[in-house]
């Protein structure tokens, strides 16, 4: 995992902390490190708390990688999309302790987790692609369709509306907002409570409840982010 991500387990709860010492940009390296931490949590059978650094859960995908060309951009987007898919279907509960800003790639994970607790403060959460000249990826649209309140879907995805943490509960990005001083304690307590669930029943029910969303998400990833042979059909 290197220096970008740390993994710490206490009892039945594992905390995965993302920290690039800047704004937690989701480079391919960061995303691979997070995947590696989830590998470890899966081996441990642990409930996960995924968190970031002070003021930044994640500033989103690395725009330098997007500018570097189609191949590196596709690799990064695919790694991020499969991470969101993994969180959405992870065998144990996943709690996100959102430490601040969550721009698109970070917001995608908020849309995938089982419980989302954010800090109060002057932070922005949402999908801002349209504001910066990018088209929202198909997989992100499917995540948003699955998790956002229908009344908020268009204004969030199409109009790129961004939300302060307290405003982000009603659309569906967060479940609860707490003071920054309480985030670690509240998230840990929530994870410990979820660890008391019957985890086999949790997973089976999760996969039933999210079957349609997972099917649509996987189809979107395959259509848009997987290299196709010459002449293969492309998404419309």
Which residues face 100 on adjacent strands?
Answer: 55
Distance set, CA 132 to CA 36, 65, 103, 104, 127 (Å): 30, 15, 12, 11, 10
Task: Decide which of 3.20.20.370, 2.30.300.10, 3.90.226.10, 3.30.420.40 is the CATH code for 5-180.
Answer: 3.90.226.10
Give me the sign of the Cα torsion angle 59, 64, 65, 67: positive
Output the pLDDT for position 234.
43
DSSP-derived secondary structure letter, 110: H
Residue written as token pair 């710490």: 8
Per-residue pLDDT of the chain (236 residues; tens, 9 = 90+): 458 999 999 999 999 999 999 999 999 999 999 999 999 999 999 999 999 999 999 999 999 999 999 999 999 999 999 999 999 999 999 999 999 999 999 999 999 999 999 999 999 999 999 999 999 999 999 999 999 999 999 999 999 999 999 999 999 999 999 999 999 999 999 999 999 999 999 999 999 999 999 999 999 999 999 865 444 444 44
* pLDDT score of 3: 87
Supply the pTM of this predicted model.
0.94
Strand partners, 163: 125
> What pLDDT, on the 0 to 100 scale, is given for residue 233?
44
Predicted pLDDT at 228 = 58
d(CA 227, CA 224): 8
Strand bridging mode 60-61 / 25-26: parallel
Distance CA 57, CA 106 (A): 7
- Domain coordinates in residue numbering, the chain: 5-180
* Residue 156 host element (H or E): helix 150-157
């Amino acid at each position: 995992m290197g220096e970008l991500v740390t993994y710490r387990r206490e009892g039945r709860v594992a905390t995965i902390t993302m920290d690039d010492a800047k704004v937690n940009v989701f480079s391919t390296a960061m995303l691979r490190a997070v995947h590696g931490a989830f590998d470890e949590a899966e081996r441990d059978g642990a409930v996960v708390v995924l968190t970031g650094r002070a003021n930044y859960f994640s500033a989103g995908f690395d725009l330098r990688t997007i500018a570097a060309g189609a191949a590196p951009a596709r690799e990064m987007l695919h790694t991020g999309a499969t991470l969101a898919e993994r969180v959405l279907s992870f065998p144990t509960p996943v709690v996100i302790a959102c430490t601040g800003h969550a721009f698109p790639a970070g917001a995608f994970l908020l849309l995938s987790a089982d419980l989302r607790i954010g800090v109060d403060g002057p932070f922005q959460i949402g999908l801002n692609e349209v504001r910066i000249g990018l088209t929202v990826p198909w997989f992100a649209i499917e995540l948003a369709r699955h998790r956002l309140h229908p009344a908020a879907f268009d204004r969030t995805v199409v109009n790129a509306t961004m939300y302060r943490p307290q405003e982000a509960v009603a659309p569906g990005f967060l479940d609860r907002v707490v003071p920054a001083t309480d985030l670690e304690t509240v998230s840990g307590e929530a994870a410990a409570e979820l660890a008391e669930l019957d985890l086999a029943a949790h997973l089976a029910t999760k996969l039933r409840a999210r079957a349609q969303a997972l099917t649509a998400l996987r189809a979107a990833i395959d259509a848009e982010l997987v290299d196709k042979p010459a002449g293969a059909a492309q998404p419309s």
